[in-house]
Amino acid sequence: MRKDVRILLVGEPKVGKTSLIMSLVSEEFPDEVPLRAEEITIPADVTPERVPTHIVDYSEAEQSDEQLYQEISKANVICIVYSVNNKKSIEKVTSHWIPLINERTDKDSRLPLILVGNKSDLVEHSSMETILPIMNQYSEIETCVECSAKNLKNISELFYYAQKAVLHPTGPLYSPEDKEMKPSCIKALTRIFKISDLDNDGILNDNELNFFQVRAVFFSCLHTHTQTCFNIPLAPQALEDVKNVVRKNMSDGVKDNGLTLKGFLFLHTLFIQRGRHETTWTVLRRFGYDDDLELTQEYLFPLLKIPPDCTTELNHNAYLFLQSVFDKHDKDRDCALSPDELKDLFKVFPYMPWGPDVNNTVCTNEQGWITYQGYLSQWTLTTYLDVQRCLEYLGYLGYSIIQEQESQTAAVTITRNKRIDLQKKQTQRSVFRCNVLGARGSGKSGFLQAFLGRNLARQKRIREDHMSYYAMSTTYVYGQEKYLLLHEVLPDFEFLSEADLACDVVCLVYDISNPRSFEYCAKVYKKHFLDSKTPCVIIAAKSDLHEARQYYSLSPLDFCRKHKLHPPQMFTCNTDEAPSKDICTKLTTMAMYPHMTQADLKNSTFWLRASVGATVFAVLGFAMYKALLKQR
């Protein structure tokens, strides 16, 4: 909402503009009325909407046309005052004032107008018959108020309606000509309905209606006498009243004793038609929308400062929320999201955020559908690589509303500085990055895909334009589940950036069948990692092929001995079953314990403890996975 409201009063001389302002301020009709009242500011704490309001008077006798134009450009709403007993002042509304205001305002930014019929105490009849055609002709006119500065009739209401026209405008929501909500409003409310439909059955049941009511302030005025309820669950009878109103007006608004999307939209149309569009605006703003029915930058991108050498991860509550979103859309309960289920999940987004490369970044089932583990891995990857994008995505899903948080930043944990981890020789992080380097054709992409459980035969089915330079999945070290992010770095030796080198562990891959493949690994290590504290592992890929003698001064094994590295790790993805993940467990362990010497890491007992823990917890994890599936 706006931080303040500026109201300008215009109209013909002697219609009572200044008297209206003075009667509002002093709560009595003034004996003497100056040509023009000074600008007054009504403090936020005495206005119904808790927003400071500036009221500006205009006098033809004291002000030039240029001053009038300046005031029009600064105003948020303009009250055109006429005298109900003066036909000429009414005619001037359409012949002079509305055209003048429209000429001086941007066509794209609609300035709301209020027609004010003053001096109602002097006549017994109403001017509404004359005014209604004018209101129908100009959509920018929000409402018309008849009042009396002398009798103090409708004075407070006049300025309340003016304030309301700015804070809760009808224009973006409703088309008076068509007598229906505008498409942008329907789109926004449809997203809100889908977020509030916690079980995704297309109906808001009583629990979901109460959940929505408490968070968004709803159903405030189905009858004119109904009090607005803020954050109070609806009584059972009130819920029935809501549904009965819908039933009386449409046949498909209520289903299985719950509110359908059509019923939900009908209720909001009813609110707007009854002049209570502040109810709809309250809902829209709570779900992040601005006056143009776009999600605000503040809502989508809340401020989150990340200190240097720190990383970003999702916390436990965020994973629980994402799990509930997955469960909500996994209709067939197969623990994977089909293309249709994924499309349904992202209907609350303005665009499809995941492209085909995501299916080759995380784990999928045999059909190529993203599994539950793969789904959480992709969210973890986005949080780690681009936390602002993650906050945006969580905003579309309504995280802060569902979780009752100030913003999506409550979902993110900022890890402590990596140097502190090294000093304390322990880490609290759950996500580790491994940069994978090697010459072209060395087997880097195959290594990434093998981490996702894909052998060479499955990898050959992947389209080249759907390939990913990332692979994200879980490993277990000493019984702790950790995420390992493999990042394939393009082999431009002379142009490796700091981002290409910044990681927790380095993986140097060479093709044992290519005699020139190892040289790249040796050069990269000597130039960038020889004096680095980042652990390095050399991988002898394509180990199912004949091993060629490398055209380098040292053999890979001798090179590792000279630089006190772990011996080259033999690897192939040309297997009948899913390739082994043992190397990835080692990489994660080295990333977790970078302070450990290479001698410690060579110790077979150390690796036995780590890998046994991985095996046990993988089995336990699968058992728990099946148990959860049964419960669901």
Please check the confidence at residue 362 and state whether its pLDDT lies above 90.
yes
Reported as a pLDDT band with limits 50, 70 and 90, residue 227 is: very low
- What tens digit of pLDDT does each residue of 528-577 get? 999 888 999 999 999 999 999 999 999 999 999 999 999 999 999 999 99
Tell me the domains of the chain and their CATH numbers. 5-167 (3.40.50.300), 180-294 (1.10.238.10), 299-415 (1.10.238.10), 424-592 (3.40.50.300)
Q: Identify the band that residue 226 occupies on the pLDDT scale cut at 50, 70 and 90.
A: very low
Closest CA to 90 of 140, 37, 144: 144
Q: What is the pLDDT of residues 166-200, one digit of tens each?
A: 989 888 899 877 889 999 999 999 999 999 999 99
**Spacing of C-alpha 604 from chain mean position:** 47
Q: With 70 as the cut, is the pLDDT of residue 429 above it? A: yes
Average pLDDT over every residue of 441-467: 94
Q: What is the SS3 assignment for 53?
A: strand
Residue 301 has pLDDT above 80, yes or no: yes
The pLDDT confidence band at residue 110, using thresholds 50, 70 and 90, is confident
Within the chain, how many helices (H) and strands (E) appear? 26, 21
CA distance 329 to 59: 62
Question: What are the tens digits of pLDDT across the range 381-417?
Answer: 999 999 999 999 999 999 999 999 999 999 999 999 9
- Give 145-166 pLDDT, tens digit per residue: 999 999 999 999 999 899 988 9
Instruction: Evaluate if residue 281 carries a pLDDT over 60.
Output: yes
Q: Which range among 2-6, 123-127, 492-496 shows the weakest confidence by mean pLDDT?
A: 492-496
Tokens of 17: 């503009």
Q: Provide the pairing of β-strand 174-175 with 77-83.
A: unpaired
State whether residue 334 is helix, strand or coil. Answer: coil
| CA 387/CA 109 separation, integer angstroms | 34
Counting Cα atoms < 13 Å in the Cβ hemisphere of 433 gives 26
Band of residue 1 on the pLDDT scale cut at 50, 70, 90: low
How far apart, in whole angstroms, are the C-alpha atoms of residue 395 and residue 201?
A: 22
Cα dist from 13 to 20, 117, 170, 566, whole Å: 13, 14, 30, 92
Q: CB count, 10 Å around CB of 441?
A: 14
∠ at Cα 206 (203, 209), nearest 5°? 75
Phi, then psi, of 125 in degrees rounded to 5: -100, 170
The answer to pTM > 0.75 is: yes
* Residue 602: predicted pLDDT: 52
Bridge partners, residue 509, by sequence: 438, 539
Q: Are the beta carbons of 246 and 263 closer than 8 angstroms?
A: yes
- What is the rounded distance in angstroms from the CA atom of residue 215 to the CA atom of residue 204? 14
- CB burial of 151-182 (b: ≥16 within 10 Å; e: otherwise) equals ebbbbeebbbbbbbbbbbbbbbbbeeeeeebe
> Taking Cα atoms as reference points, which of 470, 438, 435 lies closest to residue 542?
438
pLDDT band at 233 (very low <50, low <70, confident <90, very high): low
